[in-house]
Amino acid sequence: MNILGDISTATFLSEYWQKKPLLIRNALPDFESPVEPDDIAGLSLDEDVESRILIEDPAKQSWQVKHGPFSEDSFSQLPKENWTLLVQAVDQWIPECADLLEQFSFIPSWRRDDLMVSFAPKGGSVGPHFDLYDVFLVQGMGQRRWQLGPKCNTTSKTLPDLPVSILQDMQVEHEWTLNPGDMLYIPPSYAHHGVAIDDCMTFSIGFRAPSEADVLQGFTDHLAAELNNDRRYSDPSPACAKDAPALIDEAAIERFRQILQKNILQDGPLREWLAQTMTEPKYEALHEPLEEALEWQDIASLFKEASMLTHNETSRWAYFKDEQRVCLFINGHAQPLAESKSCQALAQQLANQRHVNIQDINRYLSEPACQDLLLDLINANYLYFEG
């Protein structure tokens, strides 16, 4: 199924991705939400789940923000209208929501952030605002009216003295009402405002987009941690400084430039930092390895009894190729791999598919290096058996 409707993936990526918004009617035909409002409210009671409630007073143009975990009394005290419950990373708690992310496989999986679910009664909204990342908004239940405006930036005026960032004025350029299964794509920085027409749920699929400042600081910190303090600036043949001792001359600047170029332009450290950073889990504490490590003989029979291996919902996978070698990273850590071609091919297949049919990897199961890899991934709880 093509979630982009009549638009091809190539057309979407070349003409819409990070360029302009797109409404796709019936992107998910006959869509049935994998969660109910009570499920979302139930998650917000858990202290390990990030959640918040936004309450609007339209008459006073004021907003309240309450952060979870909530209690059942929290919901009984809410007004009948004009509020929204938002729960982050629902894909990490509900496997069917994690499967929904697979519909967006045309975007690299290491770019995905999470799936946020919002529930709102009539009038519920988070106000006109803009995000600095791409987002797909899938209508899961009820109806929501969306208004879209122009691109914004940090100079765009927001309402003062509010606990959330809400645009003061938003010029409406498009307006649509979304029904279950409809989807709206919004590129970074475009103003948007969604208001519930009736009880509704919206699924927001966001993507990781580190700022250039984060990239520079993160990568240079990574480099600095690997460097030896004995390697220092040197100027073996400087010009005489007697006439202008305070001058930083061009030769000195060039020597510092060479230090930066020598270190920053290396491909290896950049690849490692990128794979490590983009697989860091959103909530590290949610993932735990198996309490008792297994041996191959403990799991060998399961490859005949189960139908597939599945990524743990709390795991993030990525890899890069370095010459002839595959470097696999999961949850911010490098996964040791044997140099055998079979082991490296298996690692790529496991990383690229959330659900791996066991029949498709049978040819690897007799090789000790592949057995070691599978055992490591299962013991680390990165993979589990299904069916």
167: left (phi over 0), alpha (psi -120 to 50) or beta: beta
Q: Where residue 303 falls among pLDDT bands split at 50, 70, 90?
A: very high
- pLDDT of 323 > 80? The answer is no
pLDDT surpasses 80 at 1: no
Angle at 28 between CA 24 and CA 30, to 5 degrees: 125
d(C-alpha 170, C-alpha 168), whole Å: 7
Q: For the segment 194-223, what is each residue's pLDDT rounded down to a tens digit?
A: 999 999 999 999 999 999 999 999 999 999
Bridge partners (DSSP) of residue 137 are 184, 204
Residue 184 has pLDDT above 90, yes or no: yes
Burial of residue 189 (CB within 10 Å: 0-12, 13-18, 19+) is middle
- Whether the CB-CB separation of 315 and 91 falls below 8 Å is answered with no
Mapping DSSP to helix (H, G, I), strand (E, B) and coil, where does residue 298 land?
helix
Cα 338 from Cα 208, distance rounded (Å) = 30
Q: Would the pLDDT of 236 be above 90?
A: no
pLDDT, residue 214, reads 96
When pLDDT is cut at 50, 70 and 90, the band that residue 91 belongs to is very high
Q: How confident is the model at residue 81 (pLDDT cuts 50, 70, 90)?
A: very high
Residue 133 has pLDDT above 80, yes or no: yes
Using 50, 70 and 90 to split pLDDT, how confident is the model at 74? very high
Per-residue pLDDT at 320: 96
If pLDDT is split at 50, 70 and 90, which confidence band does 238 have?
confident
Average pLDDT, the chain: 95
Under a CB-based contact definition with an 8 Å cutoff, are residues 41 and 139 in contact? no
Cβ contacts of 48 within 8 Å, gap of 6 or more = 283, 285, 286
Return d(Cα 344, Cα 227) in angstroms, integer: 29
> What pLDDT shows up at residue 252?
92
Q: What is the pTM of this model?
A: 0.93
Taken in order of first residue, the domains within the chain and their CATH numbers are: 9-207 (2.60.120.650), 212-235+246-265 (no CATH), 284-386 (3.40.366.30)
Whether 367 and 340 have beta carbons less than 8 Å apart is answered as yes
Q: Give the mean model confidence (pLDDT) for residues 167-192.
A: 97
CB atoms within 10 A of CB 211: 10
pLDDT at 387: 81
For residues 314 and 26, give the distance between their C-alpha atoms in angstroms, rounded to a whole number.
29
Cβ atoms of 101 and 112 within 8 Å: the answer is: yes
**pLDDT-derived band at 290, boundaries 50, 70, 90:** very high
Which pLDDT score is estimated for 231? 85
171: its two tokens: 């010029």
Question: Where does the pLDDT of residue 230 fall: very low under 50, low under 70, confident under 90, or very high at 90 and above?
Answer: confident
Q: Which of 350, 363, 356 is nearest to 307 (CA)?
A: 356
Q: Which residues are bridge partners to 319 per DSSP?
A: 328
- Residue 292: the pLDDT is 96
Within a 10 A sphere around the Cβ of 54, how many other Cβ atoms? 22
Instruction: For 337-363, give the DSSP string.
Output: --S-HHHHHHHHHHHH-SEEEGGGGGG
Q: Tell whether the model's pLDDT for residue 318 goes beyond 90.
A: yes
Helix (H) / strand (E) element for 225: namely helix 212-226
Tell me the C-alpha distance between 329 and 334, whole Å. 4
Distance separating the N- and C-terminal Cα atoms of the chain: 24
Owner of token pair 């008792």: 292
Residues near 97 by beta carbon (within 8 Å), at least 6 away in sequence = 34, 35, 90, 91, 115, 117, 203
Report d(CA 218, CA 221) in Å as an integer.
Answer: 5
Q: What is the pLDDT of residues 339-361, one digit of tens each?
A: 999 999 999 999 999 999 999 99
Q: Pull the structure tokens for residue 384.
A: 């589990």
How many Å apart are CA 335 and CA 67, to the nearest integer? 36
